[in-house]
Structure 1
Amino acid sequence: MFYFTTRTTLLALVAGLSSMSALADSNGIAPDPACVYQETDLKTYGGQAYAAPEEIRSVNGQLTAKLDVVFTKPAETKIAGCGVTLRSYNGKLIGPTLRVKPGDTLNITLNNALGQTGAAKPEELCNNPHDAFGGSPLPENFNCTNLHTHGMHVSPSGNADNILVMVPPVPYKNPKNSSLSANPRQITINIPKNHSPGTYWYHPHVHGSTGVQVGSGMEGAIIVEDDPAKTPDSIIKANANEKIFMLQTIPYDDTGKVNDFLALGDDRAFVRNRYLLVNGQIAPTIKMRPGEVQRWRFIDSSFNRTAQLTLEKHDLHEIAVDGNYLSQVDTWMNNWEQKDYCCTGKWDQEKTFKLKRQAVELIPGSRSDVLVQASKTPGRYKLAADTYITGRLDPSTASFTDNVVAWIEVEGEPVADTGLPSNEEMAKLYPYTDINNSNVKYNQIATFNRDQPLGGNDGGIACDPVRDKTPCYPIGFQVNGHVFDASQPRVLELRPNAEELAKAPEDSNGPQTGTDSWIISSADPTRNHVFHIHTNDFQTTRTDPLGNTETLWRDSLLVKYGQPQTILTRYEDFDGTTVLHCHLLSHEDMGMMQVIKFEKRNAAMVGH
C-alpha cells in the first residue's frame, strides 16, 4: 500500500499526467489504459514463482557474452499488464548474470541496435556530452550507450571499464574521434587474481543518458565467486540456493515508454513508480524449506530510490556490503509482530513503529548480501521495503511504505541446520587492511552543490523546453562548483606496486603514497546525494545493529546536507581516467560528475 499526502499526490498527479499527455500527444500515440498510473494489483500480477535472470558462466578463465541493446517488444514484455517499449539488454527487463572467478577475463560484445533517425553519419548521432552537456539544453544521447562494471576493481582504460567512450546506435567500424567507439564494441576486462569475491553489477554510463537507460532496466548482476578453500562451509552451503534481487524502478509513461530525461524528474517518477520490480517481476514467490539458509544478493539499481528491507518474522544476517565482506555478521532484527498492536496506520504511529525494527538499507547503486534462515514454522512471509526518493531531505514527502518485494513460502520437510558463519570466520574474509589517519598523504574534498538558472528556484527543473517551447538550461548540478567537464581531471597519485614497494618500503605508521582522506559533503540545501567513485573502494564507518561503530569498505555513500563525512582510500593497481559522481542518475546526467585520473607522480600533488 502506498501512502501519500493529499497535497503531494495532487501536485505529483498533475505534473505527471501533464507530462505524460504531452509526451503521448507529441508522439501521436494514444495512452494505454493498462499503462496509466494506478496501484498495482498484486493478486493479478504478483506472486509468480521467482525466476532467476539468465546466467553466463566463465569457462577455463574466460567469460564470453553478447549484449544486444534493443527496445523490448510490448507484445512480449509487460509490466502489470502494460506492454512496454524500453531500452534493454537482449530484449529483457534485466540483463544476464555474469558469473566469474578472480583472475578470469570478461569478453563482452556490446551491440547497440537501438537505431536512430535524422542523422546521416554515425559520428553525428552522439553529441559529445563530456563538456557541460555539449551545449544542449537537457541531457540527451538517449540511444548512445557504453558499459560500466559497477564496484569492480578493474582497469578504467582502453577497452575495459572505460565509460568515457560512446557506442553509437548504428553499425560503425572506424571511429573518427576518441569519444566514439566502434559498434559493436569489444570489451575485454581482466579481473585481478586478488579481486574481492562478491556482488557487483553492470549498466550503461554515457553522460546524459545514464538515467534513462538504467531507469529502463538496462542492468545485470556480476557475481565474483568465492574460493571454496577460503570460505566458511556455512556460506558455501547458502550459496547453493542463492537468490539475486535486482531492485528496479522503471518510470514508464502511459504509452509504456521511458522516452527521455523528463521521465526521471522527482515528481514525475514519484507518480510513475509502482511497486519495486525484482528482476523484472512483481512480488515473486520464493520457496524455502524450514530451517534452510539461503544467500540473497540485493542490488539497488534504482536511479533515485532508497529501499529499507525487512522480512516478516525473520532476521536478516548481513555479511557483505558493496561487494566486500564485513568483518562480522550484522544481524538486523525484525519485530514485525509489534505492528499488530502499536500502529493505527497514521503516519506518526507508522514512523514510531519503524524506529522499533531494524532494516537492511540500500541506496541507489549499493549492494547487500544477507543470509536468511527460514523459520521452522511453515507459512507465507512477506519481504517488504519502505522506499523513498533518496534526494528528498524529508523522506516522508515521497515515501512508499510496506511495499511487497517478494513472498517467502516455507514448506516441506525441515533441513539440517547448516548454521551461520562466526565473527571469527568473517574477520578472515575481510578483504582490506584498514587505513590509519597517519597513513594519509593528501586530503581531498568533494562537495555536491547546485546553481539555479535564470527563471526559478523551484528545487526541480525550472524550465521545460518541451512544455515552455523556449530555450532554457537545467539547474547546474556540480561537484566543487563545476559541472562535468572531461578536460579538467582531478589527478590522484597511484600507489606503487608490490615490486616498487619492495625496493622502497614505506612506514606502515606513516604517510603512504596513493593514500588519501576525502571530506564528502553536500552544500545543496534542497537535496541529498549519493557519492560513488569508480575503480577503488573506500573505507568508511557506520552504526551496526548493536549500536557500535563498524568499519567497512564501500563504493557508494549517502551524503546528506550539512552532514559531511570523511572517508579513506587507496588508489591501487590501475592508472587511467574515470569518474566520481552522484549516483542519483538524473543528478549525474545534469553535471554532478567529475573526471579523475590515476597516475604516478613524483611531485607534490594538491587536490582540487
Structure 2
Amino acid sequence: MTRLNTHFSLSSLVVGVVFAAASLAGGSGCAPTEHSHATHQPAAQDGATPAGPAPRLQDPPELVSRNGTLKATLVVERRKVQVGDHQLYATTYNGAYMPPTLRVRPGDRIDLTMTNRINENTNLHTHGLHVSPRAPADDIFIAIKYNHSYHYSYRLPLNQPTGTYWYHSHADMMSAPQVAGGESGIIIVDGLQQYLPPSLRHITEHTLALKDFQIQGDSIKTHPLSIGAPTNRTVNGQKNPVIHIRPGETQLWRLANISANIYYKLHLPGTRFHVIAQDGIPVRKVYAQDTLIIAAGARFDVLVQGGSPGTTQLETLPYNTGPAGNQFPQAVLATVVTDGPSMTRATIPTDFASHEDLSHATIAARRTVVYTENKAGTKFFINGRMYDPHRIDFTSTFGTVEEWSVRNDTNEDHSFHVHTNDFQLMSTNGKTQDPSHGWYDTVNVPARGEIVFRIHFIDFTGKTVLHCHILNHEDMGMMAVLDIVG
C-alpha cells in the first residue's frame, strides 16, 4: 500500500450525477437524476471501420458518498439491454451493461447491499481498494446464492490512494463469464485533483471504461469464451462515441480496462498521454507516453491536451500476446473532435504525489511465483498447482516488506494481480523500473519473462488471493491463496 500525502479539502471535490432508477438509491446516499441516451449506429467488430455518425460520449451515472458514507444497492440480474448498438441479454448491475460508478473519498464507509437474481453464485470484488479481505469487506470467498443478498460494510483508510478502481464478480470458476457478460463497473476515489496545480483542478473529466462483448444469438456470449475471437469493444458501453475537446484544452481521462480477458494498446494520433496515476495510485513524477498498453484489469489516469481543430480516432493498436496467446487487431474506440474556441495550453506538472519507496527497505522474505500451462491451454498453474480455495499457498507476515519474483514459463503474456495491498514494481525482464512511477496492483508479465516487485503488508490481515487477471486463466487454475498473518 503506497503511503500518499492525504491532506486535502474534501469539500472541493466533484459531486457526480447519480443513476436514475430508484432501485439504485439504496439509501440517503444517492439522489437520482438521469443521463440522456443517444442514438446508436451499426456495430463494427475489431478491425472494422465504424459507419455513420457516432453518439456523444456519456460518462457512466454515479452513486456518490454523502456525509462520509456510500449507501448503495447493486442487483445482479439477466436483462435485455442496450449494448453498443445491439439489444442483447446481458448480466447486469442495476439493469445496465455500463453500471453506476461508485464515487467515494478516503476515509468513507461503504455500505453496499448486493442482491443476486441470476441462477448461479456470484459476489463482488472491489479491485485495487486497500481494504480488509475479511467479511464483511472484500472477501472474495463469499458465494451469494440465487435470490439471496449480502451486505458489504467497511471503511476506506485515510491513506487510500486517490484514483480509478473497479468492481466485478470474483465468483470461483465463474469470474470470466460473469465479467464478460457485463458484471464490471468503475470506482473512483476522489482527491486526485489535489496534486494538480490550481489552474487544472477543475478541468473536464471523463471516465473511459473499456468493455468488450462477443455475441451469441440475442445474448452476450459467456461460455465457452475464446479470448482471440472477434469482439466488439465499447467505451462506457458505447460504440465509437465522440469526445469533444477544445484546442489547447487539458482534460482528465480515466482509462480502465474492465474487460474479462483482452488487452488494449491505446493510441491517439498527435496526442500524448500524460500519466498521473496507475491503478489508482498517483505517480511521483508525471510521464508521457504515445501508446499505453493496458493489461486486463489495469487502469491509467491521464491528462490529454487538445491539438489543432480537426477529428482523429482513439484506437487500440494491434497487440500480440505471444505464440501461445492471442493477436488482438486494431480497432477504433472513440472519435475525438477538437473544436470550439482555443484555450491557452497549460503546462503539465512534473512533480506530483509523494509516496513510499521500497528500494532500500529491509526484505523479510523472498518468494517466487511461476506461471505454467498445459499445451491445450485448458489448465493453468501457479508453482505447478491449480487453484484450491481451501489450500494456503503463501503465508506472509503483517508489517513486513517482501520481494516477489513472478516468472512466466509460458509462450504467452499473463497479467499479475494481488488483492489487499498494491506493490512496487522493481524490474521487468531485468530492466529496472523507474521508482517515480513504480506502484501498481496489476501488471503484464511477458511471455518467457519475469517481473520483480516489493510489497509492504500493512493495515490488514487475512486470507486473500493473487492471480492472472486474464479471467479465463484465473478460472482455469492460475490463482493462489495468500494468508497475511499477524
Q: Is the 8 A contact 1:298 1:369 kept in 2?
A: yes
Identity of aligned residues (%): 31
Give the AA of the match of 2:357.
Answer: D
Per the alignment, residue 50 of structure 1 pairs with 57
Give the AA of the match of 1:272.
Answer: P
Q: Is the 8 A contact 2:126 2:167 kept in 1?
A: yes
Q: Is the 8 A contact 2:426 2:454 kept in 1?
A: no
Deviation of residue 549 (structure 1)?
4.6
Per the alignment, residue 324 of structure 1 pairs with 281
In structure 2, C-alpha distance between the alignment counterparts of 1:406 and 1:78, rounded to whole Å: 15
Per the alignment, residue 272 of structure 1 pairs with 230
SS at match of 1:578: strand
Give the AA of the match of 2:336.
Answer: I
1:594 aligns with 2:470: no
Deviation of residue 408 (structure 1)?
1.2
Deviation of residue 494 (structure 1)?
3.7
1:585 aligns with 2:471: yes
1:198 aligns with 2:163: yes
SS at match of 1:212: helix
Deviates more, 1:301-310 or 1:155-164: 301-310
1:476 aligns with 2:484: no
1:445 aligns with 2:373: no
SS at match of 2:219: coil
Per the alignment, residue 515 of structure 1 pairs with 401
Per the alignment, residue 382 of structure 1 pairs with 313
Q: How does 1:363-382 map to 2 (within 5 A)?
A: 363-375=295-307, 377-382=308-313
Q: How does 1:405-420 map to 2 (within 5 A)?
A: 405-420=333-348
Per the alignment, residue 536 of structure 1 pairs with 421
**Which of 74, 79, 82 matches 1:77?**
82
1:301 aligns with 2:243: no
Q: Is the 8 A contact 1:494 1:574 kept in 2?
A: no
Render the CA deviation track for 1:301-357: whole Å, top value 9, x for unaligned: 12222111111211211111111112212112xxxxxxxxxxxxxxxxxxxxxxxxx
Per the alignment, residue 101 of structure 1 pairs with 105
Q: How does 1:203-214 map to 2 (within 5 A)?
A: 203-214=168-179
Per the alignment, residue 245 of structure 2 pairs with 288
Per the alignment, residue 342 of structure 1 pairs with none
Larger Rg: 1
Aligned alpha-carbon RMSD (Å): 2.3
Evaluate the alpha carbon distance shift between residue 404 and residue 41 of structure 1 in structure 2; reply closer, same or farther with a 3 A threshold: closer
Evaluate the alpha carbon distance shift between residue 515 and residue 72 of structure 1 in structure 2; reply closer, same or farther with a 3 A threshold: same
TM-score norm. by structure 2 comes to 0.85
SS at match of 2:472: helix
Evaluate the alpha carbon distance shift between residue 84 and residue 229 of structure 1 in structure 2; reply closer, same or farther with a 3 A threshold: closer
In structure 2, C-alpha distance between the alignment counterparts of 1:159 and 1:308, rounded to whole Å: 36
In structure 1, C-alpha distance between the alignment counterparts of 2:270 and 2:45, rounded to whole Å: 32
Per the alignment, residue 398 of structure 2 pairs with 495
In structure 1, C-alpha distance between the alignment counterparts of 2:202 and 2:279, rounded to whole Å: 21
Deviation of residue 477 (structure 1)?
1.3
Q: Is the 8 A contact 1:62 1:107 kept in 2?
A: yes
Render the CA deviation track for 1:107-149: whole Å, top value 9, x for unaligned: 11111112x3xxxxxxxxxxxxxxxxxxxxxxxxxx3210001
Deviates more, 1:303-312 or 1:572-581: 303-312
In structure 2, C-alpha distance between the alignment counterparts of 1:381 and 1:251, rounded to whole Å: 26
Deviates more, 1:584-593 or 1:403-412: 403-412
Per the alignment, residue 17 of structure 2 pairs with none
SS at match of 1:85: strand
1:550 aligns with 2:481: no
Q: Is the 8 A contact 2:181 2:222 kept in 1?
A: no
SS at match of 2:89: coil
Evaluate the alpha carbon distance shift between residue 366 and residue 486 of structure 1 in structure 2; reply closer, same or farther with a 3 A threshold: same
In structure 1, C-alpha distance between the alignment counterparts of 2:46 and 2:356, rounded to whole Å: 50
Per the alignment, residue 433 of structure 1 pairs with 356
Give the AA of the match of 2:452.
Answer: T
Q: How does 1:329-408 map to 2 (within 5 A)?
A: 329-332=286-289, 358-375=290-307, 377-388=308-319, 390=321, 392-393=322-323, 398-401=327-330, 403-408=331-336
In structure 2, C-alpha distance between the alignment counterparts of 1:186 and 1:224, rounded to whole Å: 21
Deviation of residue 155 (structure 1)?
0.7
1:164 aligns with 2:119: no
Q: Is the 8 A contact 2:111 2:153 kept in 1?
A: yes
In structure 2, C-alpha distance between the alignment counterparts of 1:318 and 1:35, rounded to whole Å: 31
Evaluate the alpha carbon distance shift between residue 252 and residue 144 of structure 1 in structure 2; reply closer, same or farther with a 3 A threshold: farther
User: Size of the alignment, in residue pairs?
Assistant: 441
Per the alignment, residue 258 of structure 1 pairs with 221
In structure 2, C-alpha distance between the alignment counterparts of 1:213 and 1:523, rounded to whole Å: 28
Give the AA of the match of 1:319.
Answer: I
Deviation of residue 83 (structure 1)?
2.3
Render the CA deviation track for 1:515-569: whole Å, top value 9, x for unaligned: 1010101222x332111100111111469xxx99512111112112332221111
In structure 1, C-alpha distance between the alignment counterparts of 2:236 and 2:193, rounded to whole Å: 27
Q: How does 1:219-234 map to 2 (within 5 A)?
A: 219-226=184-191, 231-234=196-199
In structure 2, C-alpha distance between the alignment counterparts of 1:404 and 1:41, rounded to whole Å: 7
Q: How does 1:106-145 map to 2 (within 5 A)?
A: 106-114=110-118, 116=119, 143-145=120-122
SS at match of 2:176: helix
**Which of 175, 181, 192 matches 1:216?**
181
Deviates more, 1:312-321 or 1:157-166: 312-321
Evaluate the alpha carbon distance shift between residue 227 and residue 319 of structure 1 in structure 2; reply closer, same or farther with a 3 A threshold: closer
Deviation of residue 49 (structure 1)?
0.5
SS at match of 2:216: coil
SS at match of 1:265: coil
Q: How does 1:84-95 map to 2 (within 5 A)?
A: 84-95=88-99
Evaluate the alpha carbon distance shift between residue 362 and residue 37 of structure 1 in structure 2; reply closer, same or farther with a 3 A threshold: closer
Render the CA deviation track for 1:180-208: whole Å, top value 9, x for unaligned: xxx21111131001111111110010111
Deviation of residue 284 (structure 1)?
0.4
Evaluate the alpha carbon distance shift between residue 433 and residue 212 of structure 1 in structure 2; reply closer, same or farther with a 3 A threshold: same
In structure 1, C-alpha distance between the alignment counterparts of 2:124 and 2:426, rounded to whole Å: 30
Q: Is the 8 A contact 2:176 2:261 kept in 1?
A: no
SS at match of 2:389: coil
Q: Is the 8 A contact 1:306 1:389 kept in 2?
A: no
In structure 2, C-alpha distance between the alignment counterparts of 1:366 and 1:326, rounded to whole Å: 15
Give the AA of the match of 2:392.
Answer: P
In structure 1, C-alpha distance between the alignment counterparts of 2:470 and 2:415, rounded to whole Å: 6
In structure 1, C-alpha distance between the alignment counterparts of 2:448 and 2:379, rounded to whole Å: 20
In structure 1, C-alpha distance between the alignment counterparts of 2:74 and 2:187, rounded to whole Å: 14
Evaluate the alpha carbon distance shift between residue 415 and residue 36 of structure 1 in structure 2; reply closer, same or farther with a 3 A threshold: closer
Deviation of residue 228 (structure 1)?
5.8
SS at match of 1:439: coil
Q: Is the 8 A contact 2:83 2:238 kept in 1?
A: no
Q: Is the 8 A contact 2:121 2:146 kept in 1?
A: yes
Deviation of residue 41 (structure 1)?
6.1
Give the AA of the match of 1:492.
Answer: T
Deviation of residue 222 (structure 1)?
0.7
Deviation of residue 257 (structure 1)?
3.1
Give the AA of the match of 1:271.
Answer: A
- Any unmatched runs of 5+ in structure 1? 1-33, 117-142, 171-182, 333-357, 461-474, 497-513, 601-608
